[in-house]
Amino acid sequence: MYQRIYDNRKALTNILFLLYILTVLSLTFIVRETMALRTPEHRGVVLQPFREFDAMMNQNHLFWFKQIFLNVLLFIPFGFLLPMIHKLFRNPIITLTAGCIFSGCIEITQYITGRGLTEVDDVITNTIDAAVGVAIYKLVFGAIQYNRIVG
């Protein structure tokens, strides 16, 4: 019986992660405020780290806060769900590396397809957000393990 519950939970987690990935790809390529396709000579690439934080402090605070906040919400589930998919990803370094690679692939694809703006900021913040997700995972499942031991 416990094996069946475990298998059902595992299947549900896999489906949730797949839906999450599809949502991220949809939000980053299909549903965008900046949907103007960029021609090869007018593709946007921003290599300045923490540009959005600087802009938030010195320009339109609400616009940049929204940009950063939505980016944060986008990658926390990555760090939380991935360790639930496979034991390999319970190692925070491996999960953060996967988050960095996934985010980098999104940025490269945005550049190639001309969808969105390619920013090093996004890779940095997405990797940090994946770390927050891993920390939440460790706290939640650490508490569950503690309660099982202590009873």
84-132 confidence digits (pLDDT tens): 999 999 999 999 999 999 999 999 988 888 777 788 888 999 999 999 9
Of 85, 65, 63, the residue nearest 125 (C-alpha): 65
Rounded Cα–Cα distance for residues 71 and 22 (Å):
16
Domain extent for 55: 2-150
Other Cβ atoms within 10 Å of 47 Cβ, number: 9
Least confident of 6-15, 35-44, 81-90, 91-100: 35-44
Q: What domain count does the chain have?
A: 1
Beta strand segments in the chain, E: 45-46, 118-119
d(CA 8, CA 125): 33
pTM for the predicted model, two decimal places: 0.79
Residue 119, strand partner residues: 46
Please tell me the predicted confidence (pLDDT) of residue 13. 92
